[in-house]
Amino acid sequence: GAVVSQHPSWVICKSGTSVKIECRSLDFQATTMFWYRQFPKQSLMLMATSNEGSKATYEQGVEKDKFLINHASLTLSTLTVTSAHPEDSSFYICSARLLSSYNSPLHFGNGTRLTVT
Amino acid sequence: DQQVKQNSPSLSVQEGRISILNCDYTNSMFDYFLWYKKYPAEGPTFLISISSIKDKNEDGRFTVFLNKSAKHLSLHIVPSQPGDSAVYFCAAWDSGTYKYIFGTGTRLKVLA
């Protein structure tokens, strides 16, 4: 099946620093990747849709200047949390579809646990 | 405004019995539905999906039922195994906004 690799799996950083999270599709090309965030005991909240070669589409309430998304190739999307603050501590998960058709499931990476001290 | 709802936050089932997880949705533009299983500190794993043109899809121990008129879907796991203990999310593809919408999850505990 489709494999999505996410790195790092966990990171601790100091307030005010930036953190980059990588998401790779290992055995398929993904023109679109989706970035989610999950708070404890809550659902997966879509942050943004990352499109290869173009700007990401952000959901309402998500600061595009704070959560920078780059999708430079068909197999790599990155999320950079800039000037991180403790409230940015969360579980970030990327995902991609094997096929571009709508009836193709999302495959998720293993997530990144970000802790900002 | 939660468009995909899983009203049971938790469920406990004895090993070997059937687990039934339920999901309701409100948007008639949803036309593809999925179930995911998630362990702590891991990404969700795709289990099974169903298109709105069908009312049932089966894959091994997992069966998904879709009742379009009631806007309701369910996941049946039989027989349940301790390794099935996890959080289960249902999701729907919104063909109007091109997004996947997730429910809040149901924590399943299968007791040995």
DSSP calls for B39-63? -TTS--EEEEEEETT-SEEEETTEE
Instruction: Check residue B29 and give its pLDDT.
Output: 87
Task: List CB contacts (< 8 A) between B36 and chain A.
Answer: 108
Q: CB–CB of B100 and A93 under 8 A?
A: no
Segment B65-82 shows an average pLDDT of 97
Residue of chain B whose Cα is closest to the Cα of A113: B41
* B2-to-A38, A91, B26 alpha-carbon distances in Å: 15, 21, 8
Q: For A3, which residue in chain B has the nearest alpha carbon?
A: B45
- pLDDT class for B5, splitting at 50, 70, 90? very high
- Give chain B positions within 8 Å (CB) of A111: 41-43
Backbone angles phi, psi at B83, to 5 degrees: -70, -10
The CA distance from B27 to B29, in Å, is 5
> For chain B, what is the mean pLDDT?
94
Q: Is the pLDDT of residue B56 over 90?
A: yes
The number of helix segments (H) and strand segments (E) in chain B equals: 0, 11
pLDDT in tens, A87-104: 999 999 999 987 666 678
So what's the pLDDT on residue A82?
97
**pLDDT tens profile A16-62:** 999 999 999 998 888 889 999 998 878 899 999 988 888 899 999 99
Contact predicate A43/B102, CB 8 Å: yes
* Average pLDDT estimate for B8-37: 95
B69-95: average pLDDT:
96
Does A108 sit within 8 Å of B102, measured CB to CB?
no
- Subunit contact A111:B41, Cβ cutoff 8 A: yes
Looking at residues B35-43, what average pLDDT do you find? 92
Q: Which whole number is the average pLDDT over B79-100?
A: 93
Contact residues, chain B, for A43 at CB < 8 Å: 89, 102-105
Report helix, strand or coil for A87.
helix
- Structure confidence at residue A17 (pLDDT): 97
Instruction: Give the mutation candidate from A31, A97, A103 for the B interface (greatest B CB count, under 10 A).
Output: A103
The predicted structure's pLDDT at residue A101 = 67
> What is the distance in angstroms between the Cα of B81 and the nearest Cα belonging to chain A?
23
Give residue A104's pLDDT: 80
pLDDT for position A2: 67
Residue in chain A lying closest to B103 (CA): A43
Query: Which of A22, A97, A102 to probe the B interface (max B CBs under 10 A)?
Result: A102
For the stretch A17-26, pLDDT in tens is: 999 999 999 9
Task: Inform me whether the pLDDT recorded for B7 exceeds 80.
Answer: yes
For residue B32, give how far its alpha carbon lies from the nearest alpha carbon of chain A (Å).
6
Q: What is the pLDDT of residue A28?
A: 84
At position A8, the amino acid (one-letter code) is P
